[in-house]
Amino acid sequence: MPRVVTRNHKVILIAGGAGFVGSNLCRRLIDEGHEIICVDNFQTGNRCNIAPFLQHRHFRLIQHDICDPLDISGPVDEIYNMACAASPDRYQEGPVHTCKTCFLGALNLLELARRKNARILQSSTSEVYGDPEISLQDESYRGCVNTCGPRACYDEGKRVAETLFWEYGAHNGVETRIARIFNTYGPNMDPADGRVVSNFIVQALKGEDLTVYGTGLQTRSFCYVSDLVDGLIRLMASDEKMPVNLGNPGEFTMLELAEKVVKMVRSRAGVTFRPLPQDDPRQRKPNITRAKTILGWSPKVNLDEGLAATIEWYRERLAADQEAEAPAGQ
């Protein structure tokens, strides 16, 4: 088993640190006593997510788009590249910028890692497998991706980012790590994110019918964000240079998820069916054997537990948003 390396105090740069996963990663690493440099252009990141850290002596915020070169004064021990819109609704709004973030952003961060002699982790995605022709998806599967479809800017962008990480690791002496992240959910995911868990919970809390695309029989595997963060940290500390799947292999149809959310919210909402978007994957289920073997990692939070915590977070967030929008004096 590869050696796992830990240090008591590190300077850690998190690109996309104000985003959903990035902000949860910030919290965990601050709690562990590390110094955090959060870099975000706030395209999809939210200052609310990092508000608790802004006055922390070990937290520094830099507003910057990683499509442009980045220079940091002082030492940097580790870099997590969590930057790039991950929701289809968001990354399709600016597909060229999505491509640039995946390619130029990765290149700029790799160059920073080379200059700083820092270890760097790429947040890749299960989308590199496209609409898979096999189940389970393991890291050796090369995928079934449409290079010219509406999702290609993200899918292919992440694939080329993996190639850059591989080349810098193989030929430029940079310590690189690649995490292939499967569907993740939990606190700090934008209510308007557009992905299925946030959509279903927000719609149910508002008493609206849940929007299901296609037949609703397509499947996803949902990983709670604290489990994912733990996997990312373990991968960063390991000696593993090849991609590693991080996700929860529990598999649910969209209709099963909708039923769970409606029941847990105690909503009377129904379901509205809409056409399945082009290239939307029919099935997602990770093989996490390598993560178990190499990292000693497997998810701990089951879907019911994770949904309960996520529903409560959304309930509080929507109430706060409603209060903020209310006219003065009401």
Can you name the residues that pair with 210 across neighbouring β-strands? 271
Can you name the residues that pair with 121 across neighbouring β-strands? 80, 177
- 80, 91, 129, 154: the catalytic one is 154
Q: For residue 323, give every residue at least 6 positions away whose Cβ sits within 8 Å of its Cβ, in sequence order, or none.
A: none
Specify whether 154 is catalytic: yes
How many Cα neighbours within 13 Å face the side chain of 155?
22
Residue 180: C-alpha distances to residues 94, 139, 213, 228, 313 (Å): 23, 8, 25, 11, 26
DSSP E strands, the chain: 11-15, 35-40, 59-63, 78-81, 119-125, 176-181, 184-185, 210-213, 219-221, 223-224, 244-246, 251-253, 271-274
Can you name the residues that pair with 185 across neighbouring β-strands? 224
Characterize 29-60 residue by residue with b for buried, 16 or more Cβ atoms within 10 angstroms of its Cβ, and e for exposed.
bbeeebbbbbbbbebbbbeebbeebeeeeebb
The amino acid that residue 215 corresponds to is T
42: left (phi over 0), alpha (psi -120 to 50) or beta: left
Where do we find the tokens 């940091």?
72
Helix axes 196-205, 303-325, angle to 10 degrees: 60
What residues are annotated to the active site?
Answer: 154
